[in-house]
Structure 1
Amino acid sequence: MPSEHHARVFLESIIWAGGRYCPHCGGLRSIKLAGESSRPGLYQCSEAECRGQFTITTKTPLHATKLDLRIWISAMFIVLTSSKGISSVVMARLLGVNQKTAWKMGHAIRELMDDRNGELLPLEDIVEVDEAYVGGAPKSLSGAYNPRGKGTGKPMIFVAASRDGQARARVVADDQRATLEPVLLEWIEPTTTTLMTDGSTSYPGMRKTMASHHRVIHSNDEYANPETGAHVNTAESVISQVQRALVGVYHNLGRQHLQRYLDEIVWRWNHREQVRDVVKQWTTKAGVDREKSTTIWKPIPVLDQMRVLLQGAVGKQMRRSKEYGLCWP
């Protein structure tokens, strides 16, 4: 992109793919302001009750940005192509901005990855669930001690993963059924779901609302049951992505922003590959026609990922607070 104008046109083609609209009132009629005092990309709503001015970044996480839009697009590219995330220190060095700016940009991109509006489809068919403790003070700190198991002070995350490739994750207070079941019911269609869990005592009571429920008992060295097809390896793979990001990139995930980092990791998991079923046909040497159905996993191009990321940008706002933290209007 040779200029910021090209970056603005690129963002407008994605965010306003269905036509330009006013982010204040949703009106479809607007005019471009081209006066000498008008900044580039400024429009005014033509609705009599609105008449608000806006740009492509209005009421998005990029709202009121003073940065070149090419820097924002570069930041999105870096985040989407990183396998485990990227720290604000490294992003600042790559983009030529200071660390505080890169930190805020990273959280703005995670705001785009948030599914707060419940736009994702429910998990279906076979769904695995598991929970884990993550974060806590690094062991290298003097006096830092994190007990194992339920005696730890680390925050708990609850993960559900469908075997078709989609996943969800949320920070929860504890692993009691009263806490986990309402969250799980937000993510799945219980009447058509086969639930796969480990031996935790939180799950047996949920079988009444599920189509079926199978368990593996890790304490008995059972990690997969060939007869029922039970295992939670997919959910544990999602948790391992969280652990890899913690160990290799962020080093410490505090409670305040842990859910935002989970949103990033799960978004990257959900958009890493697209599934396509292919039927292969061939004839054997004996002249017998054979047919086999196979599933092909193809990586999603970064540009397509960016289109998905930006399609719901309007309405997701994030600003600097007076204390130089984050706030949400």
Structure 2
Amino acid sequence: MNLTDPIFTDKDAAREYLEASRWADGVFCPHCGGTEKCKKLEGAKHRPGLYQCGDCRKQFTVTVGTVFERSKVPLNKWLLATFLMASSKKGISAHQLHRTIGVTYKTAWFMFHRIREAMRNDDPVSFGGGGGTVEVDETFIGRDKSKKPKGTKKGRGYAHKYKILSLVDRSTGMAKSIVVDDLKQSTLLPILRENIASEAVIYTDEAGQYANLKKEFADHDFTRHGAGEYVRGEVHTNTIEGYFSVFKRGMKGVYQHCGRQHLHRYAAEFEFRYNNRASKQVDDTMRANAILKGAEGKRMTYRRTDTRTCA
């Protein structure tokens, strides 16, 4: 990433970059979807980048219908924040962003949540298709004060922590993370059915909630971590443990603390970078451009992200 690139210093260059990315196949109206009668409005009376649709007669710019819509932050700063987020393997804090690009902490915090929304992927993905192997595991992070054991200063175990269930498909190298309320089999099994093909082979640890997976999928095997067994031939969860290691280093070292209401966006951030990593021939620019593509069709207001408990 070249920080002297005009797209990071000039708002018009940034707008043209976003237009080239979003409208690579031609300008379209974000209000009605029209493509034939979109006219650019020229002259001193109109702000740069303003278009009008001849079908619905509404005006629009390239930011309409994206997470950047109605933001007072210059578009070049939005692009810089997006590229910084895309190129930071373990994330970048809102405090760091506000010092780097010259916005308030409150603004930087909200910008990053909008970018995380653009990173979020809601497209259905079937892991383990064609008899592939899927690793399943859970991790714990933070502290849910509502579940702290009574009579203790710091609760032991994991009951008081936030819980994240993750899947990694060994064949495709894709990951998916879901924030869950508990680790009961009745909670996890519907999630696994929804996201994993029935012909898949599942590898887990010996946790009891995975006891009956052979009934749902082609095969299930596990390692006994409690007995010191972590690898038995192809049976292991080392891939997903590596995924968790980056996630936890970022959450503990960069963001430090996070409330339950925001955790799904942070999980989506690390999931996105893992699924668009260098080993899959995705560089920083390609990753940032994927975020810009994901910004379309998503809106987020400050009210939806208020109660800031994340750095």
Q: Same fold (TM over 0.5)?
A: yes
Kept after mapping to 1: 8 A contact 2:144/2:160? no
* 1:219 paired to 2:226: yes
| One-letter amino acid of the structure 1 residue matched with residue 188 of structure 2 | L
Aligned residue number for residue 48 of structure 2:
40
Of 147, 158, 161, 2:156 maps to: 147
* 1:31 paired to 2:39: yes
SS at match of 2:168: strand
Task: Identify which range, 230-239 or 31-40, moves more after superposition.
Answer: 31-40
Of 284, 291, 309, 1:302 maps to: 284
Aligned residue number for residue 21 of structure 2:
14
Kept after mapping to 1: 8 A contact 2:67/2:299? yes
Q: 1:40 to 1:74 in 2, by over 3 A?
A: same
Cα offset for 1:168? 0.5
Give distance in 2, aligned partners of 1:12 and 1:55. 9
Decide which structure has the larger Cα Rg and report it: 1
Q: 1:217 to 1:4 in 2, by over 3 A?
A: same
Aligned residue number for residue 232 of structure 1:
237
Unpaired stretches in structure 2, ≥5 consecutive residues: 1-5, 146-151
Cα offset for 1:304? 1.1
- Report percent identity of matched pairs: 37
Give distance in 1, aligned partners of 2:128 and 2:244. 17
| One-letter amino acid of the structure 1 residue matched with residue 228 of structure 2 | D
Q: 1:119 to 1:221 in 2, by over 3 A?
A: same
Aligned residue number for residue 53 of structure 1:
59
Cα offset for 1:122? 3.8
Q: 1:322 to 1:314 in 2, by over 3 A?
A: closer
* 1:313 paired to 2:263: no
After superposition, the C-alpha distances for 1:163-185 in whole angstroms (9 at most, x for unaligned) are: 24210001001111221122122
Of 191, 194, 199, 1:183 maps to: 191
SS at match of 1:168: strand
| One-letter amino acid of the structure 2 residue matched with residue 168 of structure 1 | K
Aligned residue number for residue 93 of structure 1:
99
Larger RCO of the pair (alpha carbons < 8 Å, separation 6+): 2
* 1:208 paired to 2:215: yes
Aligned residue number for residue 71 of structure 1:
77
Of 158, 173, 176, 2:181 maps to: 173
Cα offset for 1:65? 1.4
Kept after mapping to 1: 8 A contact 2:86/2:284? yes
| One-letter amino acid of the structure 2 residue matched with residue 194 of structure 1 | V
Give distance in 2, aligned partners of 1:122 and 1:51. 44
Give distance in 2, aligned partners of 1:189 and 1:121. 6
Aligned residue number for residue 285 of structure 1:
none
After superposition, the C-alpha distances for 1:7-47 in whole angstroms (9 at most, x for unaligned) are: 11100111112221111111113111124332111111111
Aligned residue number for residue 262 of structure 2:
257
Structure 1 residue runs of 4+, over 4 Å off? 322-326
Q: 1:32 to 1:80 in 2, by over 3 A?
A: same
TM-score, normalised with respect to structure 1 = 0.83
Kept after mapping to 1: 8 A contact 2:126/2:197? no
Give distance in 2, aligned partners of 1:319 and 1:62. 10
Aligned residue number for residue 3 of structure 2:
none
Give distance in 1, aligned partners of 2:154 and 2:26. 55
| One-letter amino acid of the structure 2 residue matched with residue 6 of structure 1 | A
Question: Which one has a larger percent helix, Structure 1 or Structure 2?
Answer: 2
TM-score, normalised with respect to structure 2 = 0.87
Kept after mapping to 1: 8 A contact 2:136/2:204? yes
